[in-house]
Structure 1
Amino acid sequence: MLAHIAHAHGSPSSTLVLPAEQLPSSEEALSRALSDGVAWLAGHGLSAVTKIALVSASEHPLFDLDYRFVQVIPGDPVRFDFRGSCGHSVLSSVVVAARLGWLPRLAPGHRTRVRVLNTDDHVVCEVDECVRDRTTFTAHFLNHPAVPLRELLPFGEPTTDLPYEDGMIRVSAVSVGNPYLFLSGHDLGVGTPEELFAAGEPLFRTMTAIRRSAAHQYGYPVEGAFPKVAAVLPDGEDGLAVRAVSVPSWHPTIALTGAVCLGAARRIRGTIPFQLAGGETGRTAPLRIRTAGGCTTSAAAVTGHDRDSELAWVSVPEKAVSFTGTVSIDSFEPHVQKEDSCLLSI
């Protein structure tokens, strides 16, 4: 089977993009197939690829692509998490789909509508620039209809005291794009953005323990990838410094879904991002997000007032993706759905 690899700049891993119709749909059978595929990657020097996207041309009249995300959880044996999404992998899938001819050739202004099957998110990927093998997008995460802000709080409140193995900590649980836990760096004993970016294994272990506790609260596998967790600190006007945990280490920047969720959380009165980004002051301005690996912005459109406020969309600009190449993974062949393979032989 031909597979395609693309890398979204700032992501901890490139994405392996596969044709969904050629592989099993059930998690059990798909896990067997992907285990063989991941073993092939490891044997060919590509073990760092831990994100997989299964894509197909959408049968829904409002969308161009259907997308299913799979997070590889390294270990022996390797495991897979099917629960969440990855915005960087969505963009990588658009780049690959265009190269396969499933979409019109990408050009500035072109918009691709993606239906995320894991989370039922609707993402519009708008091309800003195309240069050789690199495409830059603005990603728009849409809610139709708009969603009340209070429904974005899985624990029902802007902040919650969450027990974990070392005691209790205040968290803001917000779910937009992916479920996230936002922690104040001050509550973790970190005073400045520079200290946050330089923090090592002790802080990583603490944040991982907090994430595991929250996973138990969500009813998710504690060894999985979701919910995500990030620590935040004030960083100037309309700005936050952020350090996030990924799989299996620190995220080099912040996930695209993390930027989306953080932009939304900043608009929800009482959350930790709302408080640390200045509260009501400048609440409607785009949020500037600084990480150790660079900066991005997140703009959330909220309608209504106070308790009736609703989230309409969140946009994150300047997300660049580079096409890496094509590989032929023969270990997928025993799992290929033969009746469909003729439709997608590229």
Structure 2
Amino acid sequence: MIAHLAYATGSPCPTLVLDADTVPETESGLLEHLAAVRRHLDATGNGHVLKIALVRPSRHPMFDLEYRFVQALPGSVDAFDLRGSCGHSILSSAVVAERMGMLPRLSVGARVRVRVLNNGDSVVCEVDAVDRGAAQFTVHFVRTKAIPVTDLLITGEPRTMVAVDGELHEVSLVSSGNAYAFLDARTVGIKDPDALFAGGEELFDTLARIRAAVTDHLGWPPGGAFPKIAALLPVEAGRIAARAISVPSWHPTIALTGAVCLGSAIRIPGTVPWRVAQELGCPDSLEIITSGGRTAVTADVRDIAGTPTLSWASVDRKRVTFQGSIPLEPSASATL
């Protein structure tokens, strides 16, 4: 069995891409198989790879690929979270799928239509550039049916209060691409982007504890990867600074799904991102400033019968590099 690695610039780690037809169909069998894969990764110096993508040619006529994301969790080789998605891993899967013969050769202007099995998302990866071993994309998260932006609110409320050690924190819980908790960094004592990006263990611990409180508030299993959390600050017209927690540390930039979620959230009246955006003149498109670079996102929100409604959100200039293949030992394929 052969696994493949690809890295999307800005991601915390490469994605290990597997042919979904070569792994067990049952969840218990799949997790046992992936634990064996992780043991092999650890043994070959690739234990830092915590993103796994399962792909196959789509069985649905509207899509090219079916994709399932698995977030490997640190601390144990048999710990995984199957609930969320990963935009960087979707792009990595498109690059690998071409090499696996699941897709025609990528070319400028080509569009790879991906069906995300984790959450039902429809994602179109539009090829902007191709060179040896790499490709650059614009990524479109397309709603099969336009949705009122308020339907993206996980609790139905634009803001939610959670308690940490007797202190209340205000967050907005939004799900678009992935589930996120957004908070204004100024509410935890961070006044400017330099302080946000320089924040160390104390800030990380504060955000991690707020995220744990959100998980408990939602009744979601503790110890997983979702919802994610990001702290925000206004910068200037059309620009918001963001810092997010990934698995198991700070995200080097912001997740592609995080950009989509934030770009959508600034269009939901009353949310923390909306209020931050209002300070900047309520931009229709957004540039997200992080310590590792900038990400541009546009959300198509239109007024339909008096209701702001989301049709799609796009992120551009995402580059993916193929990093090679890994033969897996028989022990990693024992459940086949």
TM-score range, shorter chain: over 0.9
Q: C-alpha displacement at 1:157, in angstroms?
A: 1.4
Partner AA of 1:8 in structure 2: A
In structure 1, C-alpha distance between the alignment counterparts of 2:87 and 2:262, rounded to whole Å: 14
- Correspondence for 1:342: none
Give 3-state SS (helix, strand or coil) of 2:223's partner: coil
Partner AA of 1:233 in structure 2: L
Identity %: 49
What do residues 253-280 of structure 1 show as CA deviations (whole Å, max 9, x unaligned)? 0000000000000111111111112258
Partner AA of 1:69 in structure 2: F
- Correspondence for 1:24: 24
In structure 2, C-alpha distance between the alignment counterparts of 1:183 and 1:166, rounded to whole Å: 18
What do residues 111-169 of structure 1 show as CA deviations (whole Å, max 9, x unaligned)? 00000000100000000001111100000001111011111001111111112335210
Q: Check whether the contact 2:160–2:172 (CA below 8 A) recurs between aligned residues.
A: yes
Q: Check whether the contact 1:269–1:279 (CA below 8 A) recurs between aligned residues.
A: no
Partner AA of 1:302 in structure 2: V
- Correspondence for 2:143: 143
Give 3-state SS (helix, strand or coil) of 2:72's partner: strand
What do residues 22-45 of structure 1 show as CA deviations (whole Å, max 9, x unaligned)? 111222211111111001001101
In structure 1, C-alpha distance between the alignment counterparts of 2:310 and 2:318, rounded to whole Å: 22
**Aligned-pair Cα RMSD in Å:** 1.3
Matched, 1:275 2:275: yes
Matched, 1:40 2:40: yes
Q: Check whether the contact 2:81–2:225 (CA below 8 A) recurs between aligned residues.
A: yes
Identify if the C-alpha distance between structure 1 residues 77 and 332 changes in structure 2 by more than 3 Å, giving closer, same or farther: closer
- Correspondence for 2:297: 298
Hey, which bits of structure 1, 4+ residues long, moved more than 4 A? none
Q: Check whether the contact 2:39–2:77 (CA below 8 A) recurs between aligned residues.
A: no
Give 3-state SS (helix, strand or coil) of 2:63's partner: coil
What do residues 162-216 of structure 1 show as CA deviations (whole Å, max 9, x unaligned)? 1233521000111000000001010011000000000001111111111111112
**Structure 2 alignment gaps of length 5 or more:** none
TM-score of the superposition, structure 1-length normalised? Answer: 0.94
- Correspondence for 1:315: 314
User: Following superposition of structure 1 onto structure 2, how do residues 178-193 of structure 1 map, counting pairs within 5 Å?
Assistant: 178-193=178-193
Matched, 1:7 2:7: yes
Give 3-state SS (helix, strand or coil) of 2:278's partner: coil
In structure 1, C-alpha distance between the alignment counterparts of 2:315 and 2:209, rounded to whole Å: 29
- Correspondence for 2:92: 92
In structure 2, C-alpha distance between the alignment counterparts of 1:171 and 1:194, rounded to whole Å: 22
Identify if the C-alpha distance between structure 1 residues 307 and 205 changes in structure 2 by more than 3 Å, giving closer, same or farther: farther
- Correspondence for 2:266: 266
In structure 2, C-alpha distance between the alignment counterparts of 1:180 and 1:255, rounded to whole Å: 11
Matched, 1:256 2:264: no
Matched, 1:113 2:113: yes
In structure 2, C-alpha distance between the alignment counterparts of 1:166 and 1:26, rounded to whole Å: 43
Q: C-alpha displacement at 1:78, in angstroms?
A: 3.8
Query: How many equivalent residue pairs?
Result: 335
In structure 2, C-alpha distance between the alignment counterparts of 1:322 and 1:133, rounded to whole Å: 6
**Structure 1 alignment gaps of length 5 or more:** 337-346
Q: Check whether the contact 1:16–1:51 (CA below 8 A) recurs between aligned residues.
A: yes
